[in-house]
């Protein structure tokens, strides 16, 4: 769990000159937000062939949506949503395998359906057909839906020549205890929202849209603190109680795009990956019973940062630069040589950096009473070999935190750039 911080923004603004409209696009019905603000007959439901596609209007004088429900991310853009946005309260990660006999044609039709669905749901509208009403009365709630391709997708669709070299399988690490059934996959979808029902509604709709073209390979559920739950914005805490993400690269940094996104030119990656990124997904179980037996002092030495405020053990505040050479009165390093934050630093890994955007998870209590809980680690980078692999190899050789975590599932996915107006995600690959 490399020590890098996430952007803290929550509201995603429309690009300059593109106001977020509350009017429905032609053929898309009436937006959920507009219906919610419409005075008039309660219980009004708009019908259409294939099932209800509208949402009931609110009674006259109804309380408007809070900012949490109104916040909206944009589907169309240079990059796909769900990468640079701040942490979301609820998340679902799901991988699909194409059905037997399905190929490039079926994959293109599926990505077209999924893109249409993502655009509608992210705008706060109902699904085009057979909407389940799970998210009725809710706003967009910062919903993001992101799509990626696994290594196996390219052989399944006859597109081997378009497979990026950066998508080669990740190497084995000594901390791996991987369940192959919960790893990799032809297609990957990340769903995030600040409302649990909005996130579930998107997951269920995406699953239904897959139809006979693809089946679920694995699916995982995660969560983070709800925006607004603290008096001011803070770096997120993980289930070990540590601030997690202090040194994440930030979009305001001059080399952010170079580190996180594939350039439009001058790259070894195929042209269809321009403005895209690579997502490494790891299910990391935290051995919380063992961790919680440690004193706070011992936990801080494992991480290299104060548990209370995330400050480096060498002093200062959360964002104060760590002094790797500082010693105590006995001449011992203040930040231990095997501390997680020391080993994961970009300047200790040839500048390797990645944008971490994880979710915590809790999948119940085992028969022996231990919690099945930890981190759904998702990180983004322009080159996974220089990003995740470089850092993880270093961590694998001596990270003090490795005693208290176990990597149980893994995946690497090529996430193409955002879809332009009138395009679907992956169109330049599937129709190029």
Q: Which of 244, 257, 269, 383 is catalytic?
A: 244
* Catalytic residue flag (residue 244): yes
In 88-238, DSSP assigns E strands to 90-98, 144-149, 187-193, 214-223
Under DSSP, is residue 272 helix (H, G, I), strand (E, B) or coil? helix
- Strands 187-193 and 144-149, by their bridges, are antiparallel
Which residues fall within 8 angstroms of residue 25, CB to CB, at 6 or more apart? none
Write the DSSP assignment of 319-367 as a string of letters.
TSPP-TT-B-TTS-BSS-TT-HHHHH-GGGTTT---EE--EEEEEEE-T
In 197-245, DSSP assigns E strands to 214-223
Distances (CA, A) of 375 to 16, 239, 281, 384: 36, 8, 10, 19
Which residues fall within 8 angstroms of residue 120, CB to CB, at 6 or more apart? 28, 126, 127, 128
Q: Which residues pair with 211 in a beta bridge?
A: none
Tokens at 104, concatenated: 């490039």
Cα 93 from Cα 394, distance rounded (Å): 27
Neighbour count for residue 380 (Cβ, 10 Å): 26
Cα 389 from Cα 410, distance rounded (Å): 12
In 194-289, DSSP assigns E strands to 214-223, 277-286
Neighbour count for residue 216 (Cβ, 10 Å): 14
Catalytic positions? 244
């Amino acid at each position: 769990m490399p020590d890098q911080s996430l952007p803290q923004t929550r509201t995603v603004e429309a690009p300059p000159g593109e106001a977020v409209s509350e009017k429905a696009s032609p053929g898309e019905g009436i937006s959920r937000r507009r219906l919610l603000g419409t005075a008039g007959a309660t219980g009004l439901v708009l019908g259409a062939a294939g099932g209800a596609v509208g949402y009931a209007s609110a009674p006259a004088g109804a309380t408007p949506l809070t900012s949490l429900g109104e916040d909206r991310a944009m589907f169309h853009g240079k990059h796909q949503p769900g990468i640079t946005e701040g942490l979301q309260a609820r998340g679902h990660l799901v991988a699909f395998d194409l059905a037997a006999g399905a190929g490039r044609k079926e994959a293109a039709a599926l990505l077209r359906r999924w893109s249409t669905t993502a655009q509608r749901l992210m705008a706060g509208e109902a699904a085009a057909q057979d909407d389940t009403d799970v998210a009725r009365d809710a706003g967009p709630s910062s919903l993001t839906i992101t799509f990626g391709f696994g290594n196996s997708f390219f052989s399944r669709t006859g597109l081997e020549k378009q497979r990026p070299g950066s998508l080669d399988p990740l190497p084995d690490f000594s901390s791996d205890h991987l369940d192959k059934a919960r790893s990799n996959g032809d297609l990957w979808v990340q769903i995030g929202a600040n409302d649990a029902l909005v996130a579930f509604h998107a997951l269920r709709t995406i699953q239904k849209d897959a139809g006979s073209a693809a089946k679920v390979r694995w699916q995982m559920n995660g969560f983070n603190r709800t925006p607004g739950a603290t008096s001011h914005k803070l770096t997120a805490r993980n289930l070990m109680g540590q601030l997690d993400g202090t040194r994440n690269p930030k979009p305001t940094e001059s080399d952010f795009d170079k580190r996180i996104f594939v350039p439009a030119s001058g790259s070894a990656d195929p042209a269809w990956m321009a403005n895209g990124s690579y997502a490494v997904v790891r299910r990391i179980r935290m051995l919380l019973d063992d961790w919680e037996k440690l004193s706070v002092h011992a936990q801080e030495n494992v991480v290299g940062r104060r548990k209370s405020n995330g400050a480096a053990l060498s002093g200062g505040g959360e964002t104060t630069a760590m002094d790797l050479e500082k010693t105590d009165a006995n001449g011992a390093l203040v930040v231990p040589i095997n501390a997680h934050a020391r080993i994961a630093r970009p300047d200790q890994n040839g500048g390797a950096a990645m944008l971490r955007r994880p979710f915590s998870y809790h999948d119940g209590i085992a028969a022996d009473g231990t919690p099945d809980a930890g981190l759904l680690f998702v990180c983004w980078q322009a080159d996974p070999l220089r990003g995740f692999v470089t850092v993880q190899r270093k961590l694998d050789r001596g990270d003090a935190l490795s005693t208290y975590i176990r990597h149980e599932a893994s995946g690497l996915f090529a996430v193409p750039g955002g879809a332009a107006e009138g395009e679907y995600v992956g169109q330049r690959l599937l129709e190029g």
